[in-house]
A and B are shown apart, each in its own frame.
Chain A
Amino acid sequence: MTTRTAARRPKAGAPGFKALATAVSLAVTLGGWAVMAANTQPAGPAATSALPPMPTLVPTPAPFVPQTISGPSTTASTTAAAANSQTNNLTVRPHAVTINPNLLPGPVAVTRSSR
């Protein structure tokens, strides 16, 4: 006499592999986010305060020096001397600049040009 046995149902596939695949895909997603965020330099106060002071672009004008004309006073020489006396002796002098960090614009917004 033969006994009937229930048809064998295959067991669920590979639960370990499924768990591993799920964990790895989550790790790639969250880890990828973390790596991308870490590779982008955040703009902070340190970046703005480390800037060197700006140079003075417009120097203070030199003080007025009265011109004296020597020699015989002729109309021509007076005119020429007056014209030649207008020399441009502009000099750039060092000028200390103080920057108030509180008045500087906020952190630089990084554009998405890197996308």
Chain B
Amino acid sequence: MSTDNWSAAGSGARSILSSIITFSLIASGVFIGAAAAVALLPGWLPALNASIQALDPKAYWYLSRASGFAAFGLLWLSMVFGLLITNRMARLWPGGFTAFDLHQYLSLLGLGLTAFHGLVLMGDRYINYSLAQLLIPFGSVNYRQAWVGVGQIAFYGLVIVSLSFYARRTLGQRGWRIVHAVSYAGFIFALLHGLLSGTDSSAPLVLAFYWLTAVTTMALTIYRILASQLARGARTAAA
């Protein structure tokens, strides 16, 4: 058997193994989700029902708060994968292309959840937002105007960065980098929005989450700056 055939056989085996791992991850996710639903739903259903059917239903408010956390987590993960690409740590894990694919996917998923986080508040009778108040930055006169406005600006920053994936050729490398620099501001604004307009910010678990996201993003950014300076220094020395 020639070397090419061995190589093809190895590639096929890796592909099968990758498919098995993917299937196992999805199947275990479905199983865990179903088991959790069976275990928890009977206990939670009365409270969920009450939050929808009360005179002043709070389900919209709760959904907005919960989806805000999920959206911020996705934004953070997207930042992490983006930084792993630029500081070349993605070569170790999970691979350059996979990291880029996940970076793009998580960014778009985060954008969708962020839109849900805002729009679902239109159902809340207490805060009583109009569509204009939700779309125009600092239009939230009913609730923590300044920090909600900061969150709205973060959302528009995220929109610009996410759409830039589809205009990369038009933007060029320099334009792409400039647009991507907006994501840092977007992340910081989103963090401030969560900390200062969120009602759960005083909870220890929530604070720990915010600290984790801030510290990891900062550490990866510092590593990226140092790695690029070292590489530039090495190139200069070699030339």
Partners in one complex: yes
Enumerate chain A interface residues (CB-CB to B < 8 A).
Answer: 10, 12-34, 36-38, 40, 42, 109, 112, 114-115
Which of B1-55 touch A at CB < 8 Å?
21-26, 29, 33, 36, 40, 43-44, 46-48, 50-51, 54-55
In the complex, are the beta carbons of A37 and B48 less than 8 A apart?
A: yes
Q: How far is the CB of A73 from chain B (nearest CB, A)?
A: 72
Contact across chains for B59 and A37 when beta carbons are under 8 A apart: yes
* Contact between chains at A22 and B21 (CB < 8 Å): no
Instruction: Check if B66 sits within 8 Å of A32, measured CB to CB.
Output: yes
Q: Are B40 and A34 in contact (CB under 8 A)?
A: yes
Interface residues contributed by chain B, number (CB under 8 Å): 49
Tally the A-B contacts, defined by beta carbons under 8 Å. 112
Q: Mark B96-110, 1 if CB is under 8 A from A, else 0.
A: 011111100110010
Using an 8 Å CB-CB cutoff, how does the interface string of B46-73 with A read, 1 for contact, 0 for none? 1110110011101101110111011101
B interface residues (Cβ-Cβ under 8 A, vs A): 21-26, 29, 33, 36, 40, 43-44, 46-48, 50-51, 54-56, 58-59, 61-63, 65-67, 69-71, 73-74, 77, 94, 97-102, 105-106, 109, 113, 116, 126, 143, 199
Which residue of chain A has the shortest Cβ distance to B198 in the bound complex? A115
Q: Please report the C-alpha to C-alpha distance between residue A19 and residue B95 in the assembled complex, in whole angstroms.
A: 18
Verify B58–A37 contact, CB threshold 8 A: yes
| Beta-carbon contact of B70 and A28 below 8 Å | yes
- B70 near A37: Cβ-Cβ < 8 Å: no
* C-alpha gap A29/B99 in the complex (Å): 25
Whether the Cβ atoms of A42 and B47 lie closer than 8 Å is: yes
20 more contacts with CB within 8 A, not counting A25-B71, A31-B66, A36-B62, are A15-B26, A17-B25, A17-B94, A18-B105, A19-B25, A19-B26, A20-B25, A21-B106, A24-B70, A28-B67, A29-B63, A32-B62, A33-B59, A33-B63, A37-B44, A37-B51, A37-B59, A40-B47, A112-B126, A114-B199
